[in-house]
Structure 1
Amino acid sequence: MARTTIGIILNGVTGRMGYRQHLVRSLLAIRDQGGLSLADGTRLWPEPVLVGRNEHKLRELADRHGLTEWTTDLAAALARPDLQIYFDAQVTAQREKSLRLAIEAGKHIYTEKPTAEDLAGAVDLARLADAAGIKHGVVQDKLFLPGLRKLDRLVKGGFFGRILSVRGEFGYWVFEGDWQSAQRPSWNYRAADGGGITVDMFPHWHYVLEQIFGRVTSVTAQVATHVDRRWDESGEPYDATADDAAYGIFEIDRPGPDGGRIIAQINSSWAVRVYRDELVEFQVDGTEGSAVAGLRNCRVQHRSTTPKPVWNPDLPVTEEFRAQWQTVPDNEEFDNGFKAQWELFLRHVVEDAPYGWDLWAGARGVQLAELGLRSAREGRRIEVPELTGE
């Protein structure tokens, strides 16, 4: 079978997400399956060029996976005509500048989020990419999680009737770094380096709410730095200046006959100990039924099987409430979410296949984070203006 090669610049590949999810579990996994099958019968073969600042780490990663192409010179990589796609998984503070360079070089853009540190930068990137006539996409991986795909299936099938509310819980305890090493890099907790859970997670919640339920029309938020002293990768103490918890209330305008106003509440925290089945869970309640979806699993309770509890604090609870829910079956094979989205973007570039998660979608996520932080500062509800590329 004929094979077509596509060159991809991977910037920030020495980081956790860039390496584990995008290189190993996405592009190398596509190569392991023999490439991506295209409509014309050929196989698309991704050829990654690893880009970063640490020569030793790049060489070690390349040797580990039998790759030969790596460089610390981004400008040189962008100048190569055989490299058609630029991907960015750097720290947030470095992303916008590199994306601008890639757009100027005429590369197709695929990037982690947030796409920029502020809304003005994110919108400018989207406009520049449109004007350049390139293809552009933003990672929105949680839409591809098995649990959320099952939830989306329920929404599209009308299971809930009129949806009333969404409640989300995300987070886990990130160790301070003194007596146990932290699970996240220290820059996440320094505002000057683009850290903070609001700018990290609100873009995620935006696309989950927008794509599954409807347009987010307002935000009310409170943020906090619960743990204000941490230890970095070298064991040195530092002051945490970025928020490590964000508590948001979002209003959603759902279109259609079963539409209306939905209230979503989502708590995000790196200072919470987990007492739930998965690290993220969403409960959706509607007039006809409810569901609880996590990373992989989804459980439902229909109106016809809903129990009738009676509040009586003087007696012990004897009902097993969790046992009264049904598990939604898989009904299909779920691939790695990052890999699935990479395949869609590659088809978008090569075959002009439809693709809906562009830099404008990324800008809307940045907008929600920015307005969430503003809501927390001003102590009030903030409306979310419509933001489109038109």
Structure 2
Amino acid sequence: MAVREVGVVMNGVTGRMGYNQHLVRSILAIRDQGGIELADGTRVVPDPLLVGRSEQKLRDIADRHGLTRWTTDLDTALSDPSTLIYFDAQTTRAREKSVLAAIAAGRHVYCEKPTSDSVAGALELVRAAREAGVKNGVVMDKVFLPGLRKLRRLIEGGFFGRILSVRGEFGYWVFEGDWQRAQRPSWNYRAEDGGGITLDMFCHWNYVLEAIVGRVRAVTALSVTHIPQRWDEQGRPYDATADDAAYAIFELEDGTIAQLNSSWAVRVYRDELVEFQVDGTEGSAVAGLRNCRIQHRSTTPMPVWNPDLPVTEPFRQQWQEVPDNAVYDNGFKAEWEQFLRHVLEEDAAPFPYDFLAAARGVQLAELGIQSSREGRRIEVPEVGV
């Protein structure tokens, strides 16, 4: 069996997401399993070339995992003839320039989202990739999670009947950083550095809703900063200029209404950090990262409102667990494997999670911010180049 190594420039691997999910749990995990097998029988093994700003951090990561290729100079990495793919997990503000450089170097591009902090910037990447003829993809990990895959399976099996609504709750308490360390980088809470939960999470909600029901046609949103002061990684106080919570109503193309709350200032009283409830004429489901529970029309109880008596209905026990019926790999790794096949196989199916799909997410975030600022409902136009 032929084995082929493919160079992958990985920019931003010194950050939490770039290191944990993309380097360790995806690329190195694919290497450890012996690569992926293509349709022609060839096995492809990714060979990472690490890029970042800190020489010491890169050296430490390389030594920890037995890697030899790293550099603090992106141009040097992109000029390496062995590299076929460029991956970017930098901060949002740094991403657009680096991705354009990779496209100009003729590299196929896979990157985190948002691809830009503006629709104009996101569409510029679409145009540049098309003109250069390079393949492109964006991390849309949540549709690869077991909970969402089970939800999709229910939809494909006609479980819901006509879907009426989607309700989602996402978030947790991010410590301010004074008396306990913050779990997220301080730039996330500074608008001038590209932070803000609306820009971050609406890009997710757009592709999740597209995968579950359909495209968003109107948005009404309220973005707020609940915690006005936080402390950075050096323990210095700073003004939180970015929104840390967003409350939104999305109207979908088939009339379905989606309500999604996102917050870094909420304490969790849910089974998982994110949960989506889908209600339809024939049944309902609640899906999280891994689990999914259902209640069919025929088994739906008949609660009676009576505030004078204690509730005795075991509501949670009246739902049925959806079985796995499959082996679910790490969602980030699964999408990496799909993108690698998309790049390397001549007759590969189109990759649906591309720059244009990402631009729709940026557009939804931009319109959500506008809706909050102007206090009104905004229709979502078709985005294109």
> Same fold by TM-score, threshold 0.5 exceeded?
yes
- 1:320 is aligned to 314
- 1:58 is aligned to 58
Deviation at 1:69, TM superposition (A): 0.1
> Of residues 277, 280, 290 in structure 2, which corresponds to 1:286?
280
Please give the alpha-carbon distance, in whole angstroms, between the structure 2 residues aligned to 1:332 and 1:75: 42
Please give the alpha-carbon distance, in whole angstroms, between the structure 1 residues aligned to 2:38 and 2:162: 40
Decide which moves more: 364-373 or 349-358: 349-358
Please give the alpha-carbon distance, in whole angstroms, between the structure 2 residues aligned to 1:160 and 1:144: 21
Amino acid at match of 1:185: P
- 2:262 is aligned to 268
Deviation at 1:388, TM superposition (A): 3.8
Amino acid at match of 1:378: E
- 1:346 is aligned to 340
**1:200 and 2:194 are equivalent in the alignment:** no
Deviations 1:60-89 (A, max 9, x none): 000000000000010111112211100000
Please give the alpha-carbon distance, in whole angstroms, between the structure 1 residues aligned to 2:163 and 2:266: 28
Deviations 1:344-377 (A, max 9, x none): 0000000041211100011000000000000000
> Of residues 360, 368, 372 in structure 2, which corresponds to 1:372?
368
Amino acid at match of 1:91: T
SS of structure 2 residue aligned to 1:322: helix
SS of structure 1 residue aligned to 2:255: strand
Please give the alpha-carbon distance, in whole angstroms, between the structure 1 residues aligned to 2:359 and 2:194: 16
- 1:75 is aligned to 75
Please give the alpha-carbon distance, in whole angstroms, between the structure 2 residues aligned to 1:61 and 1:131: 35
Amino acid at match of 2:101: L
**1:169 and 2:169 are equivalent in the alignment:** yes
Deviations 1:144-187 (A, max 9, x none): 01000000111111100000000000000000011110000000
The answer on whether the counterparts of 2:160 and 2:283 sit within 8 Å (CA) in structure 1 is yes
SS of structure 2 residue aligned to 1:309: coil
- 1:256 is aligned to none
Please give the alpha-carbon distance, in whole angstroms, between the structure 2 residues aligned to 1:76 and 1:2: 29
- 2:144 is aligned to 144
**1:277 and 2:271 are equivalent in the alignment:** yes
Q: Alignment RMSD, CA only?
A: 0.7
Decide which moves more: 164-173 or 344-353: 344-353
- 1:382 is aligned to 378
Please give the alpha-carbon distance, in whole angstroms, between the structure 2 residues aligned to 1:377 and 1:178: 30
SS of structure 2 residue aligned to 1:173: coil
Please give the alpha-carbon distance, in whole angstroms, between the structure 1 residues aligned to 2:384 and 2:315: 43
Amino acid at match of 2:332: F
**1:251 and 2:251 are equivalent in the alignment:** yes
Please give the alpha-carbon distance, in whole angstroms, between the structure 2 residues aligned to 1:99 and 1:373: 25
Please give the alpha-carbon distance, in whole angstroms, between the structure 2 residues aligned to 1:81 and 1:130: 22
Per the normalisation by structure 2, the TM-score is 0.99
Please give the alpha-carbon distance, in whole angstroms, between the structure 1 residues aligned to 2:272 and 2:22: 23
Deviation at 1:32, TM superposition (A): 0.7
Identity %: 73
SS of structure 1 residue aligned to 2:198: helix
Please give the alpha-carbon distance, in whole angstroms, between the structure 2 residues aligned to 1:386 and 1:160: 28
Deviation at 1:143, TM superposition (A): 0.3
Decide which moves more: 34-43 or 299-308: 34-43
Q: Name stretches of at least 5 consecutive residues in structure 2 with no aligned partner.
A: none
Per the normalisation by structure 1, the TM-score is 0.97
The answer on whether the counterparts of 2:123 and 2:384 sit within 8 Å (CA) in structure 1 is no
Please give the alpha-carbon distance, in whole angstroms, between the structure 2 residues aligned to 1:289 and 1:279: 23
Q: How does 1:120-159 map to 2 (within 5 A)?
A: 120-159=120-159
- 2:328 is aligned to 334
Q: How does 1:212-227 map to 2 (within 5 A)?
A: 212-227=212-227
Runs of 4+ in 1 over 6 A off after TM superposition: none
Please give the alpha-carbon distance, in whole angstroms, between the structure 1 residues aligned to 2:35 and 2:340: 11
SS of structure 1 residue aligned to 2:181: coil
* Paired residues, number: 383
Q: Name stretches of at least 5 consecutive residues in structure 1 with no aligned partner.
A: 254-259
- 1:357 is aligned to 353
Amino acid at match of 1:138: V
- 2:305 is aligned to 311
Please give the alpha-carbon distance, in whole angstroms, between the structure 1 residues aligned to 2:34 and 2:10: 20
Please give the alpha-carbon distance, in whole angstroms, between the structure 1 residues aligned to 2:76 and 2:36: 27
Please give the alpha-carbon distance, in whole angstroms, between the structure 1 residues aligned to 2:378 and 2:127: 25
Please give the alpha-carbon distance, in whole angstroms, between the structure 1 residues aligned to 2:140 and 2:286: 20
Deviation at 1:41, TM superposition (A): 1.4
Deviation at 1:211, TM superposition (A): 1.7
SS of structure 2 residue aligned to 1:348: helix
